[in-house]
Amino acid sequence: MVDLRKPALPASTLRSSQPASLPPRDNSSREFVFSTADFERVRKLIYQHAGISLSPVKQDMVYSRLARRLRATGMSSFAEYLDMLERGGGDEWERFVNSLTTNLTSFFREPHHFPIFAEHLRKIGTKRPVRVWCSAASTGEEPYSIAITVAETFGANMSHVSIVASDLDTNVLATAGKGVYPIERVEKLSPERLRKFFLRGTGSQEGFVSVRPELKQMVTFQRLNLLDTSYSVKGPLDIIFCRNVMIYFDKPTQYKILSRFAPMMQPDGLMFAGHSESFLHAADLFKSQGKTVYSLAQGR
């Protein structure tokens, strides 16, 4: 990798983020039979294991993703595969969950949150440690966006800030830990941010960029299931980013997770949610500050 203190990166065509064509529901044209009963078993298992509430309209998506696991394991039917999971499953449980987890992300996604985050950092200042938890890290773009914001706020004096980034999916965490991305993943960032916070690949790494080491050092990646009975992440936390993950949970599960978050936060802590997420059903735990930013409810 080399410094990006060079001419602007060449323009490139964004890779399509649209999923491939889904197979039709007519089982006669499918490799495996996938009945409604099979789908309901999948819905039950992913809910029990990961808290994810699959919509009935996701049947084709589930077939497409899990058919790969049947091929990989040599199973001849969904019933056989699901029986194996229910008998224990071993490492296949992790692959099952990874297959059904959606990981759409980008650098500075929902950008209106980051100036609010920076202002909160300035209010805290440098007199004490600052702890941030990114609870849906995906492939790392969000936690590294958080780290960039910290660096832009505090400059070289940022050693008091630590970021824990977690996710359920071990595959995306492996990518996040490397911090290496195709150039098109960063082409919407300003030239200044590219120069300051990324290294450009050469040789076999040409066409890729790497997050600078000083940002990587700020972030600790770990696997965490938000349904776990105890979290490896401990409070007190100044900021929690929990964006675009609660939409996969039903309201009771959301409330359960939020009730775990609340005691982990500093009294003046902030939680950032996704643009389509609302926690009015947890008004006793969190109150809205607008723009899908939440603080602890009064009296907590």
167 belongs to the catalytic site: yes
The C-alpha angle 288, 165, 118, rounded to 5 degrees, equals: 50
- Give the span between the Cα atoms of 255 and 273, in whole angstroms: 14
Q: What are phi and psi of 145, to 5 degrees?
A: -65, -40
- Torsion, CA 288, CA 246, CA 272, CA 237, rounded to 10: 110
Among 65, 69, 200, 243, the active-site one is 65
Residue pair 54/42 in contact (Cβ under 8 Å)? The answer is: yes
Q: Is the Cα dihedral 156, 157, 159, 164 positive or negative?
A: negative
Q: Residue ranges of the alpha helices (H) in the chain?
A: 36-50, 59-73, 78-86, 92-100, 113-124, 141-154, 170-178, 191-197, 213-216, 251-261
Among 38, 167, 169, 238, the active-site one is 167
- Give the span between the Cα atoms of 185 and 202, in whole angstroms: 17
The residues annotated with a catalytic role in the active site are 65, 167
